[in-house]
A and B are shown apart, each in its own frame.
Chain A
């Protein structure tokens, strides 16, 4: 299936969860926030959230700023 992650098109295996996507990207779940199709996914739901074909996912974290 094809999804968009942080603006980039990406092929993923069917049934991939958000938790697996974060692990593939080496993103620490405790330091990020995730939006799936514009809705925030609670941190404790990453493992149970299956990504669907066509999903748009944003993964953000805190960086230096003023």
Chain B
């Protein structure tokens, strides 16, 4: 569901149909995932990798085959652990795209910039297409891109918080400075927030918690789809200027031709 071939969205040479990425975590039932995927219009979907129990079925049976899988490296605390998970994901048939997560902070789950950039470097050497999850920090983003990141995925707010674009100013700088796609990831709690990220010029958004924990995840997936399309369309349309607080209003309607006013050119007081 993009605005079409006039506005292609490309990561690592691959054209992606939708600018909304979705996750597969936290659903009350994984059986909801196919309907959510359909309603969202998403063409990229994230998964995590964990030990399998006896008889464990995992999530793959619920993911429509048309979707491109983006396995994450959640659980990795170092670049080396992230590489190990990425290799396992590839061995499990998940392709070369990896959402890098290197996180050792267990309270706020904030990404380790140094470890993340190092993971990008290791993964590029091993043939992966890395999409690193980062703080919206210009230096970390540049380190990741210099190491070969195909896109950057800065957070709007800590994972799973639904707190929206708390990092707005830093995101705006990344969007301005990055030559690779910027996918706003984490913290987007409402469609309006995803829409705003897109209006700011983000290339895409990744939404998991806000959809999965809604009372009606399928309906919420549709709302995020529409919001991302609206925001992208608005960005392409070029939003008008914003006046400073205290500046006078600027009427949309003419200030001439009011009923009862003198005709143009009529002498004052004339009859």
Any A CB within 8 A of the CB of B14: no
Q: Which B residues fall within an 8 A CB radius of A?
A: 23-27, 30, 33, 46-52, 54-61, 69, 71-72, 74, 87-89, 91-94, 159-160, 186, 206, 208-209
Q: Which residues of B contact A32 (CB under 8 A)?
A: 52, 92
Bound-complex Cα distance A11 to B89 (A)? 28
List B contacts of A63 (CB < 8 A). Answer: 24, 47-50, 58-59
Assess whether A31 is in contact with B54, with CB atoms less than 8 Å apart: no
A64 touches B48 (CB 8 A): yes
Q: Once the chains bind, are A33 and B51 in contact (CB under 8 Å)? A: no
Question: Which of A26, A58, A66 is the one whose CB lies under 8 Å from B51?
Answer: A58
Q: Tell whether A64 pairs with B27 under 8 Å between CB atoms, given A27-B54, A27-B56, A59-B52.
A: yes
20 contacts between A and B (CB under 8 A): A27-B54, A28-B57, A30-B93, A33-B49, A40-B88, A42-B91, A43-B93, A59-B51, A62-B60, A62-B92, A63-B49, A63-B59, A64-B23, A64-B24, A64-B33, A64-B59, A65-B46, A65-B49, A65-B72, A66-B208
Contact of A61 among B33, B50, B208 (CB under 8 A): B50
Q: How many Å lie between the Cα of A26 and that of B47 in the bound state?
A: 22
A66-B209 in contact (CB<8A): yes
The interface centre, meaning the residue of A27, A58, A65 with most chain B CB atoms within 10 A of its CB, is: A65
